[in-house]
Amino acid sequence: MPVRTRFAPSPTGRLHLGHVLAARTAHALAREAEGIFLLRHEDIDGPRVRVEFYRDIEGDLKWLGLQWDEEPLRQTTRNAAYEEALATLQKQGLVYPCFCTRREIQEEWARMGAAPQGDQTPVYPGTCRNLTTSERDEKLASGAAHAWRLDSRKSIERTGPIAFHDIRFGEIFVNSDLLGDAVLSRKDIGPAYHLAVVVDDAFQEITHVTRGDDLLLSTHVHRQLQVLLGLPEPIYLHHRLMSDEAGKRLSKRHNSLSVATLRAAGLGPHEVLAQTNQAFDWRD
């Protein structure tokens, strides 16, 4: 099977060095195997998406020499496929509606003595998983806004023990407790990241999913969804993250390290790519 990889940015900002590393990794893996490198705009994040960023992202990638091979895919054109996947999980009783507000979840954590620590938030306390059928039906009938969460325990019972293979980390067994009952469809935008990414990786026949190791925990959910939805299993590569001189992770807030800024400062494409060299080699 030919290698197919993808770079999947959200058009919610300009590309920064972290994106350059992600794009370069996916591109290199495809090119080394004479495979296909794809671009997917993960643009379902409603109000944060801005139309000029599609063009900017494509412009920056071309300038860097990271040319993709097929028409870029936009997730906003794919909602019907995500809804269908959600309906499949609903039919199997593996998802449940969650009516909690963010505030209610935080209050529940406080009651449990589970406070968020830095970037790490405790998992969803399961409030709506424990609703009775009549409580649930009543809320649904009243039109209350709700998300849909994966019932992680039922899900792992259904799949049995499963694992995924990562080029850097080797075999990793899925632990369904790590992310708890992940949101698959949001109150505000409908089908969301975890579901969309899995459906689209299968649709685009991605053989190697490459992304930063900050998303390693998400893959535990993705692997479950692949099994539950009968989708093929890709190989993973969770690459290192770019960090600044103080060792802090780069994010979109670091405007000074956007490709646009580095370009404007007179750097050429090779110099910008070279700034990701340290984190680029995943083989060691």
Q: Which range, of 4-12, 139-147, 241-249, 262-270, touches ligand GLU by CB under 6 A?
A: 4-12
Task: Please report, as residue ranges, which positions from 30 to 59 form the binding site for ligand GLU (by CB under 6 A).
Answer: 42
Shortest distance, position 186 Cβ to ligand GLU, whole Å:
15
Which residue, 60 or 146, is less far from ligand GLU as judged by CB? 60
Shortest distance, position 128 Cβ to ligand GLU, whole Å:
26
Which residue, 96 or 226, is less far from ligand GLU as judged by CB? 226
Kindly tell me which residue out of 73, 89, 182, 197 binds ligand GLU, with binding defined by CB under 6 A: 197
- Map tokens 């708890």 to a residue: 180
Told to check if 166 binds ligand GLU by CB under 6 A, we report no
Told to check if 190 binds ligand GLU by CB under 6 A, we report no
Task: Please report, as residue ranges, which positions from 95 to 154 form the binding site for ligand GLU (by CB under 6 A).
Answer: none
Q: Which range, of 8-16, 131-139, 145-153, 175-183, touches ligand GLU by CB under 6 A?
A: 8-16
Binding mask 215-254 for ligand GLU (x = CB under 6 A): x---------------------------------------
Told to check if 211 binds ligand GLU by CB under 6 A, we report yes
Q: Which range, of 2-10, 27-35, 107-115, 249-257, touches ligand GLU by CB under 6 A?
A: 2-10
Kindly tell me which residue out of 4, 5, 8, 190 binds ligand GLU, with binding defined by CB under 6 A: 8
Distance (Å) of CA 36 to CA 58, 59, 70, 121, 276 = 17, 19, 8, 37, 22
- Map tokens 């975890």 to a residue: 194
Distance (Å) of CA 116 to CA 107, 112, 113, 221, 251 = 12, 12, 10, 21, 20
Shortest distance, position 210 Cβ to ligand GLU, whole Å:
7
The three-point CA angle 177-128-135 to 5° equals 150
Kindly tell me which residue out of 5, 10, 176, 226 binds ligand GLU, with binding defined by CB under 6 A: 10
Which residue, 177 or 214, is less far from ligand GLU as judged by CB? 214
The dihedral region occupied by 170, where left means phi > 0, alpha psi between -120 and 50, and beta the remainder, is: left
Which residue, 94 or 197, is less far from ligand GLU as judged by CB? 197
The answer to whether 237 and 208 have CB atoms below 8 angstroms apart is: yes
Residues that bind ligand GLU (CB under 6 A): 8-10, 42, 197, 211, 215
